[in-house]
Chains A and B, each alone.
Chain A
Amino acid sequence: MIPPVPPEAVILLAEDLPNDVFLIRRAVANAGIDNPFFVVTNGEECIAYLHGKGQYANRDEFPLPDLLLLDLKMPKMDGFEVLRAIRSERRFASVRIIVLTSSQDIFDVNKAYDLGANSFLVKPHDFENFTTMMRTLAAFWLQQSTRASVTRPRGKGQDPGETAGT
Chain B
Amino acid sequence: MANMTLPEQAVILLAEDLANDVVLIRRALDKAGVKNPLLVVRDGEECLAYLRGVGKYSDRREYPLPDILLLDLKMPKMDGFEVLGAIRKEKAFSTLRVIVLTSSEEIRDVNRAYELGANSFLVKPLEFENYAAMMRTLSAFWLRCSAAPKLDLPLEAPGTAPTSTLQGSQPTP
In the assembled complex, which residues on chain A have CB atoms less than 8 Å from the CB atom of B97? 113, 119
> Which among A3, A105, A110, A164 has the greatest number of chain B C-beta atoms within 10 A?
A110
Shortest Cβ distance from A4 into chain B, in angstroms? 13
Interface residues on A, range: 35 or more
Shortest Cβ distance from A151 into chain B, in angstroms? 10
In the assembled complex, the Cα of A79 lies from the Cα of B156 at a distance in Å of 16
The interface-forming segment of A20-28, A33-41, A49-57, A138-146 is A138-146
Instruction: Closest B residue to A149 by CB, please name it.
Output: B107
- Residue contact A122 to B111, C-beta cutoff 8 Å: no
Picked from B122, B144, B145, the residue with its CB within 8 Å of the CB of A145 is: B122
* A 98-117 binary contact with B (CB < 8 Å = 1; else 0): 00000011110111011010
- Residue contact A109 to B148, C-beta cutoff 8 Å: yes
In the assembled complex, which residues on chain A have CB atoms less than 8 Å from the CB atom of B95? 109-110, 113-114
* B 127-153 binary contact with A (CB < 8 Å = 1; else 0): 000000010011011101111111001
Interface residues on B, range: 35 or more
Shortest Cβ distance from A28 into chain B, in angstroms? 15
In the assembled complex, the Cα of A144 lies from the Cα of B138 at a distance in Å of 8
- Residue contact A122 to B121, C-beta cutoff 8 Å: no
Instruction: Closest B residue to A163 by CB, please name it.
Output: B107
Tell me whether B165 is interfacial, beta carbon within 8 Å.
Answer: yes
- Residue contact A149 to B150, C-beta cutoff 8 Å: no
* B:19-76 near A, CB below 8 Å: none
Q: Are A96 and B140 also in contact (CB < 8 A) when A114-B155, A118-B120, A163-B107 are?
A: no
Tell me whether B1 is interfacial, beta carbon within 8 Å.
Answer: yes
- Residue contact A113 to B149, C-beta cutoff 8 Å: yes
In the assembled complex, which residues on chain A have CB atoms less than 8 Å from the CB atom of B165? 104, 106
- Residue contact B141 to A90, C-beta cutoff 8 Å: no
- Residue contact A110 to B1, C-beta cutoff 8 Å: no
Picked from A105, A121, A148, the residue with its CB within 8 Å of the CB of B146 is: A121
Tell me whether A124 is interfacial, beta carbon within 8 Å.
Answer: yes
- Residue contact A146 to B122, C-beta cutoff 8 Å: yes
- Residue contact A104 to B153, C-beta cutoff 8 Å: no
In the assembled complex, which residues on chain B have CB atoms less than 8 Å from the CB atom of A58? none
In the assembled complex, which residues on chain A have CB atoms less than 8 Å from the CB atom of B94? 113-114
In the assembled complex, which residues on chain A have CB atoms less than 8 Å from the CB atom of B148? 109
In the assembled complex, the Cα of A162 lies from the Cα of B119 at a distance in Å of 21
